[in-house]
């Protein structure tokens, strides 16, 4: 008898799961039906700021696999412009709106995967839904921004929020030639960074000509007679704006699951086990909408990253296809850039380590990405967090220029394996003058952290 798998959401987690399940079971064993409310599948949302900046020419370059490819080559029935509006877990059915036809239908399932992703946070201020205020979570969102750029020819942009998307969109608007203001409630950009590194990010953005308004709240959006944004009102005054972009972060889009009685965790993500099963029989979840756990803090977290979504989708697909897989958790490793400055982090920052019950020891070093005598050696600053007494690595953050940021992967690998900083400083890393000094900045950082741990006793 053929089983039916229904997938809600056709991007990273959903299509990774569907594809993996299909590799294990053919159409005669498993029917796979995917509902996606947008018009694209398997696209690189992380590339949207670079497309808006003009660094990527065509929207379709961000699409890894179109819906028709899934239908024709993998027998996965993908239905775009179809929004699931409710789930009945007792009857094992979903109600679906066809957004083009304007009709509603009901579909049964044997197994259901919820991969609804994340939704942008919108400050609860007057006018936030005005024309000209954009989120940038989907390709449709990105297209609206570009259409507005072409039609309105804006000169002044305000980015609301200075998280990863916020600073990437600030760079995009700067590269498009706009005057850029960034308004952030926190005292620094990228609040997941320790203040010492966050201050360096702010300094670098200022040098680029981005106007930062830190510790400032948005109080409202003002519009012209045509309903289009004309200014952003803040706690320190009013900023003229021809366009505004939301960079205030996201939250798991778990509302549909919650309404169906699927448990939601403290991070607002859908509760799952290591196999991506929810506590409700026949219901699974993966990606930005799902909760996982942090391998260092051991706390439940929801982190909206394509890397995590694809991995969780693969695990769900293995299990849905009759095999076995377990998702081992996350470190929160992330990387970004603003113009020539690269920024990265993994694990816990100093305060997060304290909040998790650790007694952290912190060390910071300044170094170079290449041998000092080799052309184009660039600066790099690394902040390392270790546990007092054991010297166990708890986290790392860095900022630098070309060749700096991917060094975070060495820290992430050490962190994944619960290494002490003393072990890390003896790792046999590669060396040649075009790539690093003889003591790579990673090793210098580990050595400095080890000395700090020894001094702390």
Q: Which CATH superfamily is domain 340-456 in?
A: FAD/NAD-linked reductase, C-terminal dimerisation domain (3.30.390.30)
Share of the chain above pLDDT 70, in %: 100
- pLDDT band of residue 272 (cuts 50, 70, 90) is very high
Residue-wise pLDDT tens digits, 287-327:
999 999 999 999 999 999 999 999 999 999 999 999 999 99
- Among 409, 404, 395, residue whose Cα is nearest residue 441: 404
Which pLDDT score is estimated for 372?
Answer: 95
Which pLDDT score is estimated for 321?
Answer: 97
What is the dihedral sign for C-alpha 184, 189, 194, 199? negative
CB 265 within 8 Å of CB 291 = yes
How far lies 34's CA from each of 82, 94, 116, 233, 285, in Å? Answer: 9, 12, 11, 42, 14
- The tokens describing 247, both together, are 């960079």
**What ranges do the domains of the chain cover?**
3-116+251-320, 122-248, 340-456
Pairing of strands 292-293, 300-301: antiparallel
Q: Please tell me whether the overall predicted TM-score, pTM, comes out greater than 0.75 for this model.
A: yes
Q: State in words which class domain 3-116+251-320 has.
A: alpha beta
Cα–Cα distance, 253 to 125 (Å, whole number): 21
Which pLDDT score is estimated for 249?
Answer: 87
Task: Tell me which of 3.90.25.10, 3.90.650.10, 3.40.1260.10, 3.50.50.60 is the CATH number of domain 122-248.
Answer: 3.50.50.60
Which pLDDT score is estimated for 1?
Answer: 82
Residue-wise pLDDT tens digits, 183-226:
999 999 999 999 999 999 999 999 999 999 999 999 999 999 99
CB 300 within 8 Å of CB 325 = no
* pLDDT higher than threshold 80 for residue 457: no
* pLDDT higher than threshold 80 for residue 66: yes
Which pLDDT score is estimated for 418?
Answer: 97
Mean pLDDT of the chain: 96
How far lies 292's CA from each of 14, 115, 142, 405, in Å? Answer: 16, 14, 28, 25
Helices and strands in the chain: count of H runs, count of E runs: 12, 25
Same fold, 3-116+251-320 and 122-248: yes
Residue-wise pLDDT tens digits, 129-145:
999 999 998 999 999 99
Residue-wise pLDDT tens digits, 424-454:
999 999 999 999 999 999 999 999 999 999 9
Answer with the residue of higher pLDDT: 403 or 189. Answer: 189
Instruction: Report, as an integer, the average pLDDT of 377-403.
Output: 97
Cα–Cα distance, 344 to 335 (Å, whole number): 4
Active-site annotation, residues: 46
Edge to edge, the sheet with strand 103-108 lists 82-88, 93-98, 103-108
Which pLDDT score is estimated for 362?
Answer: 98
């Amino acid at each position: 008898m053929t089983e039916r798998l229904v997938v809600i959401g056709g991007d990273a987690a959903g299509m990774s799961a569907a594809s993996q399940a299909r590799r294990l079971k053919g159409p005669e064993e498993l029917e796979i039906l995917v509902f996606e409310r947008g018009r694209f599948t398997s696209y690189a949302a992380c590339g949207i700021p670079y497309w808006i900046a003009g660094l990527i020419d065509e929207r379709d370059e961000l699409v890894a696999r179109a819906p028709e490819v899934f239908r024709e080559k993998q027998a996965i029935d993908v239905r775009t412009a179809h929004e699931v509006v409710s789930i009945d877990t007792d009857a094992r059915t979903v109600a679906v709106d066809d957004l083009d036809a304007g009709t509603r239908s009901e579909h049964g399932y044997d197994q259901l995967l919820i991969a609804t992703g994340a939704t942008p946070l919108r400050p609860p201020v007057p006018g936030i839904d005005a024309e000209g205020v954009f989120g940038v979570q989907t390709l449709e969102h990105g297209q609206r921004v570009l259409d507005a750029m072409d039609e309105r020819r804006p000169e002044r942009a305000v980015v609301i929020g200075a998280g990863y998307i916020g600073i990437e969109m600030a760079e995009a608007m700067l590269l498009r030639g706009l005057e850029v203001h960034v308004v952030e409630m926190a005292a620094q950009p990228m609040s997941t960074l320790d203040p010492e590194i966050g201050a360096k990010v702010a300094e670098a953005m200022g040098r680029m000509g981005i106007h930062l308004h830190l510790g400032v709240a948005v109080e409202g959006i003002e519009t012209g007679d045509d309903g289009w944004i004309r200014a952003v009102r803040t706690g320190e005054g009013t900023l003229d704006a021809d366009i505004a972009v939301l960079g205030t972060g996201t939250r798991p889009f778990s509302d549909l699951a919650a309404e169906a009685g699927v448990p939601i965790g403290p991070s607002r993500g859908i509760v799952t086990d290591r196999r991506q099963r929810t506590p409700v029989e026949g219901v699974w979840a993966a990606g930005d909408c799902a909760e996982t756990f942090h391998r260092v803090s051991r706390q439940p977290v929801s982190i909206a990253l394509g890397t995590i979504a694809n991995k969780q989708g693969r695990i769900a697909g293995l299990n849905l296809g009759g095999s076995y897989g377990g998702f081992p958790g996350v470190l929160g490793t992330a990387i970004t850039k603003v113009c020539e400055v690269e920024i990265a982090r993994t694990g816990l920052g100093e305060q997060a380590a304290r909040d998790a019950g650790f007694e952290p020891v912190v060390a910071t070093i300044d170094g170079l990405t290449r041998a000092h005598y080799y052309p184009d050696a660039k600066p790099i600053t690394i902040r390392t967090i270790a546990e007092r007494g054991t010297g166990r690595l708890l986290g790392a953050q860095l900022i630098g220029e070309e060749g700096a940021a991917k060094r975070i992967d060495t820290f992430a690998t050490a962190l994944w394996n619960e290494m002490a900083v003393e072990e890390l400083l003896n790792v046999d890393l590669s060396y040649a003058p075009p790539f690093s000094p003889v003591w790579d900045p990673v090793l210098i950082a580990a050595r400095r952290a080890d000395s700090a741990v020894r001094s702390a006793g």
